[in-house]
C-alpha cells in the first residue's frame, strides 16, 4: 500500500495557543471525515513550535482534503510519496 503525506511547520505566539489548538481540533475532525490521518507534534524544548502531518492513501484524496479543509495551508502544496524499501 502506498501512502502520501504533507508536512507543515508552525510556530505560534504564546497568546495564540488556545485558538491554534481549537483550529487543529477542527482540522483533525475534517481530515478524519475524508479518509485522511492528521497528527500534530510539539517540540518540548521550544514551546509553541509544531509540526503537522496529514496523510492519505493516495495523492488525489490528500489534495482534495487539503483544498476543502477549514484552513487550507498557505504556500505550495508538497505531497510526499512513501518510498518502498
pTM of this structure: 0.86
- Any idea how long the chain is? 85
| 37 and 30 Cβ atoms separated by less than 8 Å | no
| Residue appearing with cell numbers 487543529 | 24
pLDDT (tens digit per residue) in 23-66: 999 999 999 999 999 999 999 999 899 999 999 999 999 999 99
Quick one: pLDDT at residue 72? 65
45 contacts: CB under 8 Å, gap ≥ 6: none
Amino acid at each position: 500500500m502506498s501512502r502520501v503525506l504533507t508536512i507543515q511547520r508552525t510556530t505560534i505566539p504564546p497568546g495564540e495557543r488556545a485558538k491554534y489548538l481549537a483550529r487543529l481540533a477542527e482540522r483533525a475532525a475534517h481530515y478524519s471525515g475524508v479518509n485522511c490521518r492528521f497528527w500534530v507534534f510539539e517540540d518540548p524544548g521550544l514551546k509553541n513550535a509544531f509540526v503537522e502531518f496529514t496523510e492519505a492513501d493516495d495523492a488525489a484524496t490528500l489534495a482534495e482534503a487539503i483544498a476543502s479543509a477549514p484552513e487550507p495551508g498557505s504556500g505550495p502544496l508538497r505531497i510526499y510519496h512513501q518510498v518502498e524499501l
